[in-house]
């Protein structure tokens, strides 16, 4: 018991911080807003227009909904984004319902893993702000 308390005491501030951060529920943001899902958009910049209107903070969770037989989500470098290069993604998801936490501030680039779809506008850059909510 005494042993247990000695372990516990120094970590109290840490536990408190943990409780506070847990009580701030993570915000989940559906990619494309309500109507648009992760599929070839009506025009090339539809998704980025949505992203420009949306505020992203560190810790927010992006959610993609899509047909897993037709689409996938690749997180890529900015170079990979510019070239629609699907060959060496940072992360790859193809479960039809992808959640990804925005773990740091700065830009995140995503493209479709399906041949030709990124070129048709299925790509997205999200810029994450670091200020507290
Ligand atoms: C999107 O851009 C590509 C390449 O720039 C072009 O070939 C295509 O026609 C564009 N699509 C639309 C819907 O504007
Ligand atoms: C795509 O990425 C791969 C791996 O990073 C690279 O070897 C290849 O040259 C790239 N292709 C283009 C068209 O940039």
Tens-digit pLDDT profile for residues 38-73: 999 888 788 999 999 999 999 999 999 999 999 999
Residue entry with tokens 């993609």: 64
Helix (H, G, I), strand (E, B) or coil at 48: helix
Query: Would you state the pLDDT for residue 120?
Result: 94
In percent, the amount of the chain with pLDDT more than 90 equals: 68
Question: Tokens for 108?
Answer: 């995140």
Model's pTM, two decimal places?
0.77
How far apart are the CA of 132 and the centre of ligand 2, in A? Answer: 37
Tell me which of 121, 122, 123 to substitute to probe ligand 1's pocket, judged by most ligand atoms within 8 Å of the beta carbon: 121
């Amino acid at each position: 018991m005494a042993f247990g308390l000695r372990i516990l005491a120094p970590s109290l501030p840490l536990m408190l911080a943990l409780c506070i951060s847990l009580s701030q529920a993570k915000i989940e943001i559906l990619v494309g807003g309500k109507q648009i899902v992760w599929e070839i958009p009506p025009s090339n910049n539809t998704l980025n227009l949505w992203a420009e209107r949306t505020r992203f903070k560190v810790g927010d969770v992006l959610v993609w909904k899509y047909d897993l037989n037709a689409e996938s989500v690749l997180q890529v470098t900015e170079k990979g984004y510019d070239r629609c290069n699907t060959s060496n993604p940072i992360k790859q998801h193809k479960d039809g319902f992808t959640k990804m936490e925005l773990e740091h501030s700065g830009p995140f680039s995503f493209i479709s893993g399906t041949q030709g779809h990124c070129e048709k506008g299925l790509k997205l850059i999200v810029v994450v702000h670091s200020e507290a909510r």
